[in-house]
Amino acid sequence: MHQPQTDLPQRLLTPGPTAVPPRVLEELAQPIIHHRTKQFREIFSDLSQQLQQILGTQGPVLSIAGSGTTAFEAAQVCLARPTSQVITIASGKFGERWQDVYDRYAEAMALEQVRINVPWGEPVPLAQVAQALCEHPRASVVTVVHSETSTATVNDVRSIADLTRRSDALLIVDGITSVGALACEMDVWGIDCLVTGSQKAMMLPPGLGFVGLGKQALYRLDQIDYALPVYNLDLRKWVASYQKADVPFTPPVPLVRAAKVACNMILEQGLDAVWQQTRRRAEGTRAALRAMGLRLISSHPSDSLTGAYYPDGVDDSIRHRLRKKHGIHLAGGQDGRGGCWKGKIFRISHMGYVDIEDTRAALLALESELREAGAIGSQTRALPAFDDVGG
Ligand SMILES: *Cc1c(COP(=O)(O)O)cnc(C)c1O
């Protein structure tokens, strides 16, 4: 990593990519092995079993080279039935992206998209999902983002799964910032397809997408008797290889090895403990930001990350100062159809390899910069609020 002149410890608290533990980094430096070998198949098979535990499924969890978007697009294309309707829920930038993806395939697959767009910062109301399912009984797919990273908002995926279970539609969930951070239990909740990526809560560098497939999703793939408009992203190829502990195309071997180490760390700590730790960081951070007088961006915050509006007189240049003076890396806001948050908000991650001291350091630095900008009073002390719930 590029070191600034000051040599400050760098704390990467952006909600993806996130920091990678040393054990995982060391594994990445191992010599390359060939992937058509018993050695690789053993690693791959161990990883697949760990991923099943982390996603909470008995079904296959495919490891696909690419980013989270690659994996989600594959699920979208392969699971939608041609000439059907697809119900797409967007409550932020990523939900909107999945709408854009279906726009691209709409003609080739004769899809009609039924969009549910929610104002940014709000979760999707269940009644709207129920109504869409009722009005479109032939819908083949529902897509939803569990933890909408752009708005730091969590959707009630468990209840949405209860609704889709009673319909013919398969539920595809973007769990890219929920799996490994929040409870998200594929089989118990009845999620048909759960997608995540390596660089958020999984403590890995970018480069792998994971696709969990439930029984109904596998059945849907089996039923395909038409030409899919994709090749590399044809999940049937990945499932066929998976059954032989293999992958159809050359995998990013170092990442696969590292993924096994990272998943092992998550399972050693225990999923419940990981979720609880993430929640405490989030609750503490929300308390600290409120103590600073900041307004959160979400009415229904996700525990994976926290976002807040900048107070009057403060703009995005504060992130530059946090980086330069304190080595603290936060994310800013994004623009989309349901909101224009560029330059207006900041976001801080609680996912994965975040030490409590990282969070404290970020809050202290933020408080100090806000004070310097005259945006909070000299009496403000955010850390006691954090330690009450976060420590
Ligand atoms: C980061 C993110 C994505 C996109 O993942 P890429 O790996 O950048 O393609 C999608 N959805 C959510 C919720 C995310 O946080």
Separation of CA 68 and ligand 1 centre (Å): 5
3-state secondary structure of 176: coil
Q: Is 16 in the pocket of ligand 1 (CB under 6 A)?
A: yes
Separation of CA 334 and ligand 1 centre (Å): 13
Cα–Cα dist 72/347, whole Å: 23
Q: Is 184 in the pocket of ligand 1 (CB under 6 A)?
A: no
Nearest CA to ligand 1 atom 10: 94
Separation of CA 384 and ligand 1 centre (Å): 33
pLDDT at residue 6, as a whole number: 62
Measured CA distances, 249 to 36, 75, 207, 282 (Å): 10, 17, 14, 39
The single-letter DSSP state of residue 230 is -
Q: Is 121 in the pocket of ligand 1 (CB under 6 A)?
A: no
Q: Is 69 in the pocket of ligand 1 (CB under 6 A)?
A: yes
pLDDT at residue 1, as a whole number: 47
Cα–Cα dist 184/157, whole Å: 8
Q: Is 73 in the pocket of ligand 1 (CB under 6 A)?
A: no
Nearest CA to ligand 1 atom 2: 176
pLDDT at residue 67, as a whole number: 97
Q: Is 177 in the pocket of ligand 1 (CB under 6 A)?
A: yes
Q: Is 94 in the pocket of ligand 1 (CB under 6 A)?
A: yes
| Residue from 143, 153, 196, 200 whose mutation best tests the ligand 1 pocket (most atoms within 8 A of CB) | 200
pTM more than 0.95: yes
Q: Is 164 in the pocket of ligand 1 (CB under 6 A)?
A: no
Instruction: State which residues of the chain have pLDDT below 70.
Output: 1-6, 391
Q: Is 277 in the pocket of ligand 1 (CB under 6 A)?
A: no
The single-letter DSSP state of residue 335 is B
**Shared fold status for 11-18+270-389 and 22-267:** no
Cα–Cα dist 302/278, whole Å: 10
| Beta strand 193-197 pairing with 208-213 | antiparallel
Q: Which fold has domain 22-267?
A: Aspartate Aminotransferase; domain 2 (3.40.640)
Beta pairing partners, 116: 89
pLDDT at residue 225, as a whole number: 97
Residue 145 corresponds to which tokens in the numbers above? Answer: 């983002």
Listed by start position, the domains of the chain span: 11-18+270-389, 22-267
pLDDT at residue 355, as a whole number: 87
Nearest residue to 131 via CA among 156, 114, 144: 114
Residue 239 corresponds to which tokens in the numbers above? Answer: 């499932």
Residue 35 corresponds to which tokens in the numbers above? Answer: 């992937």
Q: Is 95 in the pocket of ligand 1 (CB under 6 A)?
A: no
Nearest residue to 351 via CA among 184, 222, 234, 211: 184
Cα–Cα dist 174/72, whole Å: 7
Separation of CA 76 and ligand 1 centre (Å): 14
Separation of CA 179 and ligand 1 centre (Å): 12
**Which is the closest atom of ligand 1 to the Cα of 198?**
7
| Residue from 101, 177, 210 whose mutation best tests the ligand 1 pocket (most atoms within 8 A of CB) | 177
Q: Is 145 in the pocket of ligand 1 (CB under 6 A)?
A: yes
41-51 burial, b at 16+ Cβ within 10 Å, e below that, comes to eebbeebbebb
pLDDT at residue 7, as a whole number: 83
Separation of CA 181 and ligand 1 centre (Å): 14
Q: Which CATH class is domain 11-18+270-389?
A: alpha beta
Q: Is 251 in the pocket of ligand 1 (CB under 6 A)?
A: no
Beta pairing partners, 307: 347
25 CB-near residues (< 8 Å, 6+ apart): 258
Give the angle subtended at the CA of 308 by the CAs of 73 and 322, to the nearest 5°. Answer: 95
Separation of CA 65 and ligand 1 centre (Å): 14
pLDDT at residue 164, as a whole number: 98
Nearest CA to ligand 1 atom 14: 176
The counts of H helices and E strands in the chain are 14, 13
